Structure 1
Amino acid sequence: MIKIEKLAFLPENQRRRKIILCLDTIEKSIQAADCSVIGSKEISDTGFYLNEILRLVLSDSKLSGEERVDIVSLKNQLQDISGVLSGDESAASVASGVGLLRRVVNNTRHHLLRITGVLPAEWDLIVPERIKSGSFIPETAFVGGKPGRFYFPGLFVYAEDIRSPFNVGSIFRTAEAFGAEKVILSPFCASPEHPRAKRSSMGTIDIIPWEQKKLEIWLKEYSHDGEKTIPVIALETGGTDINNFAFPERGIVVLGSEELGIQPETLKMATGGRVSIPLPGAKASLNVGVAFGILMEKWTEKLSLI
């Protein structure tokens, strides 16, 4: 970590960039840390360093009035962190301290990024991993003898000719988040290995199984594996209102091209029906990733009640 004394003597623009890098490193360390092994001294030491960082940030001439008020408030909270944690090593106290540190780092980092004009894309955000508790867990997959991801068995996604790598990554992220078993891509989809797809997927391309092949071939292989014929659902305009659609217990949903939608030949294969999202707005149009997210929320909600 760069010493405060060194940061203090840097020109303002350079100091701002260095502080952003420092805060990024600290936040990633906080995210990766195990609260069960963090002591109050570590939190206090980090809090002391951050307090000095905030002192330098408050001297930044480009800071807005609202940002300055926010940082002063965070600085005041940090002042008392050592006293709050003194002699209290309880899990709740440590978790509270860690949460405060992360909020201080995150807010300050984004205030400085705003000044530099380099606003982060979604894949630049430091998002903590979460595990649902007290909710319906459909099935646990085991890979190599180790507990794997949770998913709804028999819930598949077919992305047909999705051209944007960003959208491909977004589909992976949503599919994994809602518990799809697998993603299948048409031969002409953008590659999940594309850098933009990897970024927007937030790492889920390496978590959820996927393969690339024509839908009809995948369906034949699926039935030959001893499984029954699986319903094919088309997410497309002109179908049954999603609020009234009878989602199957198992099925594969087809997402069409951003420009052309689902191919007519594929629509003929939609044995499970066509489902549509009512859109009263003037544009009546949604990004494919957003539409897919709405569908998955509806589908998995009904599966949870079965």
Structure 2
Amino acid sequence: MGGARDVGWVAAGLVLAAGACYCIYRLTRGQRRGARRLGLRPSRSAEDLTNGSYDDILNAEQLQKLLYLLESTEDPVIIEKALVTLGNNAAFSANQVIIRELGGITIIGSQINNPNQSIKEKALNALNNLSVNVENQIKIKVYVNQVCEDVLSGPLNSAEQLAGLRLLTNMTVTNDHQHVLSAYVAGLFHVLLTGNGSTKVQVLKLLLNLSENPAMTDGLLGAQVDSSFLSLFDVHVAKEILVRALTLFQNIDNCFKKEGRLVPQPPFPEGSLFYLLYGDECAQKMRALVYHHDTDVKEKVTMIPKF
């Protein structure tokens, strides 16, 4: 699974992500249809574009009004509504391009530093939808360091932390921007081990992206990781976490072996992920998982070399 991804695979993945965004958008549209059936005619004012009265996707002129409103107002209620509307519209590929061309990524991105945590979350959600477009990622890249810092220092298991992790996951679907996260790998493992189930799953999705890139292998294996990481391989761990943790091990091992390096002579420090994955305790856990009740888990274990 290592190496640069096949272009077709990446394109398919981005299309699937866009489809998921579209489904989320559809869930917000029921009230709009009711207004249309009653014959209500929506206003063309910028603020009214945020009130849920429009059933159609906003056009370029409306998006421009909305971006101007977001840039000019200091009302937190209006800011949040504008971000939600922009985020919903960013679920559509045409609007991903229009918002970028109108300078919207910079306007939306400025809100990730807003002290209002709900506004920050909505801004991250909007950037996440916009990041499905590869060209948009080039502009969103400038916010990756800030998002990483916020994910590591912000409230654990919070909505804004999860929104930040989702954005980072989208930004690392390809190998283009993964190197920006190199300095944050150890911190991401800390969030993985201290977060709840939802946080663990989202961090693992992000680490899985990194683990498929051979250029990130040394950074992952050299990261200082608490020994509690091995508890992810316990037999009682939820399947959605366990399978991802096993896949992470498998990806890293594949990349490491493809470079033709010998496991007994690593250039990694004590306390690093390398010593956890290739140590005796981990090997014992792998042997125990061979007898796991779940077929998917057992299949994953058989694809990892035993020591």
Give the TM-score normalised by the residue count of structure 2: 0.25
Structure having the larger proportion of residues in helix: 2
Which has more radius of gyration? 1
Structure having the larger proportion of residues in strand: 1
